[in-house]
Amino acid sequence: MLDDLSPWLLWPLTAILGLCLGSFLNVVITRLPVMLMRGWRAEAREALELPPEEATPFNLVTPRSLCPRCEAPIAWHDNIPLLGWFKRRGRCANCHARISPQYPLVELAGGVLAVTVLALFGPSLEALFILGACLTLLAMAVIDLRTQLLPDLLTLPLLWAGLLYQLLFQPLMLPSAVIGAMAGYLVLWSFYWLFKLVTGKEGMGYGDFKLLAALGAWLGWQTLPLVLILSAGAGAIVGILIQLAVPRLRGAPMPFGPWLVMAGWIALLAGEPLMAVYTGLLY
Ligand SMILES: [Zn+2]
């Protein structure tokens, strides 16, 4: 049915869908870490046998969009993806506090990812799976940048979805995907412990292992070296540049998740030509 849609309709509709999904991701990015913190606090109080705290409902739908400073509700016409932020020049309509450029940037990234996936995979169920993976990765990268967390609620479903994707679309790849998931976790887990034994420091978190396990499920074990080279290489170069430019950041921990996400996007969307070059270099 999707094949009958006129391209004149399909492309703009896909872009708008991507922008709206990006807008929803912003809600996930800002609220999920708060929801997790609240949950952990409540569990800790229960374990300590303290009375539960009075808490107003807080989830992905309640309360509706508010200004982060004055908590004035944001009108629907100021909440339109991309346009709303520019219409208000990045400020709250009520108190004129600055609203983070994260909002339009994530919305724009959602739109760009949706159009790219459509261009590469055509209007298909497979494209929806790939878009879902790319958007989940986007949410993880921004959450990791903001909070240094990679929630299990995102990494583990991404892993299961990767195995389902292989089962549905490339069943012959399934063994490679299962090995990829295990190897992805093990590689970073071993690196973490080796680094900790040698330097006494923690180089990354368990969320990174789970994220690479998920990428292994989506890409197969054969692509993992490429993902590691891309993410570690880009992370190291940018990390060194940032520390040279801003000396006070020297020694500050840098999240590794965003680099894994970037490498994962590249491998998901341009994996085949890249692997051809990569294996060509090896032999
Ligand atoms: Zn405000």
Q: How far is the CA of 73 from the centre of ligand 1 (A)?
A: 8
DSSP3 helix / strand / coil % (the chain, rounded to 5)? 75, 0, 25
pLDDT band at 78 (very low <50, low <70, confident <90, very high): confident
For residue 250, pLDDT over 80 is answered with no
The predicted structure's pLDDT at residue 56: 84
Average pLDDT over residues 208-219: 97
pLDDT category, 2, cuts 50, 70, 90? low
In whole numbers, what is the pLDDT of the chain averaged over residues? 91
pLDDT at residue 131 tops 80: yes
- Residue 57's SS3 state is coil
- Closest to 254 in 3D by CA, of 233, 264, 239: 239
pLDDT surpassing 90 at residue 61: no
Q: From CA 97, how far away is CA 94, in angstroms rounded? A: 8
Name the band, by pLDDT with cuts 50, 70 and 90, for residue 218.
very high
| Burial of 195 (C-beta count, 10 Å sphere; 0-12/13-18/19+) | middle
- CA 145 to ligand 1 center in whole angstroms: 24
Measured between alpha carbons, how far is 56 from 46 in angstroms, rounded to an integer? 18
Share of the chain above pLDDT 90, in %: 67
Residue 28, number of CB atoms within 10 A of its CB: 22
Q: How far is ligand 1, taken at its centre, from the CA of residue 140, in Å?
A: 27
DSSP calls for 192-245: HHHHHHHHSS--S-HHHHHHHHHHHHHH-GGGHHHHHHHHHHHHHHHHHHHHHH
CA 93 – ligand 1 centroid, Å: 7
**How far is the centre of ligand 1, averaged over its atoms, from the C-alpha of 33 (Å)?**
22
Average pLDDT over residues 205-228: 95
**CA atoms of 202 and 71, how far apart (whole Å):** 38
Task: Assign 3 a pLDDT band (cuts: 50, 70, 90).
Answer: low
Does residue 56 sit in helix, strand or coil?
A: coil
CA 100 to ligand 1 center in whole angstroms: 12
Is residue 166 within a helix (H) or strand (E), and if so which, with residue range?
helix 152-169
